[in-house]
């Protein structure tokens, strides 16, 4: 046996764990496909930002918001996963999108202002815990004419958000996000 082979064997033996490793390779948790139980989209003209909060009834992999005034004018924003139940019974996401002073600024959040809210189309969707399947979504906007299905990468959705910027409101919401600890 060569010295190199012996040293390689000793190095590998030193790295071998003392405890057996699982042989199934399966995940140690299980999470149902998440459904939205709370959504709040709020625009704050004084702060110059939009805030998006999401609560689901299981772990989610991603939450994403699309905003647009037409199919040719759509932005997409990932919503940051914020808190989760250890037992996978809920998940919360929360992000603030600053309004751009200059839309060409690479650090800008969104070019849409609070005054745009009545003409703005929105689609909010969440994925399963592994992030490979869109499981629930909500739509909001002035009408159902925006052809979301014509835009690449956007999930099919036909569920309207409950309350959408009624009268002078700056909040669109459904369910409750107050349960997010």
Per-residue confidence band for 103, with pLDDT thresholds at 50, 70 and 90: low
Q: Could you give the domains of the chain?
A: 32-168 (2.60.40.10)
pLDDT number for residue 141: 85
- Which residues fall within 8 angstroms of residue 83, CB to CB, at 6 or more apart? 91, 92, 180, 181
pLDDT number for residue 142: 81
Window from 14-18, 103-107, 130-134, 172-176 with minimum mean pLDDT: 14-18
Main-chain phi, psi angles of 151, to 5 degrees: -100, 125
Mean pLDDT over residues 70-91, rounded? 90
Would you call 7 helix, strand, or coil by DSSP?
helix
């Amino acid at each position: 046996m060569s010295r190199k082979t012996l040293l390689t064997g000793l190095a590998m033996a030193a790295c071998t764990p003392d405890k057996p490793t699982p042989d199934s390779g399966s995940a140690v948790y299980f999470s149902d496909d998440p459904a939205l139980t709370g959504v709040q989209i709020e625009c704050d003209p004084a702060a110059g930002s939009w805030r998006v909060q999401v609560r689901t009834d299981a772990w989610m992999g991603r939450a994403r918001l699309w905003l647009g005034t037409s199919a040719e004018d759509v932005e997409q924003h990932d919503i940051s996963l914020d808190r989760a139940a250890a037992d996978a019974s809920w998940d919360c996401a929360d992000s603030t999108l600053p309004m751009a002073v200059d839309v060409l600024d690479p650090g800008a959040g969104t070019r849409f202002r609070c005054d745009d809210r009545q003409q703005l189309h929105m689609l909010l969707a969440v994925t399963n815990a592994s992030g490979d399947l869109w499981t629930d979504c909500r739509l909001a906007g002035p009408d159902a004419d925006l052809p979301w299905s014509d835009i690449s990468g956007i999930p099919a959705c036909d569920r309207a958000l409950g309350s959408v910027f009624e009268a002078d409101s700056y909040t669109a919401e459904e369910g409750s996000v107050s349960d997010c600890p």
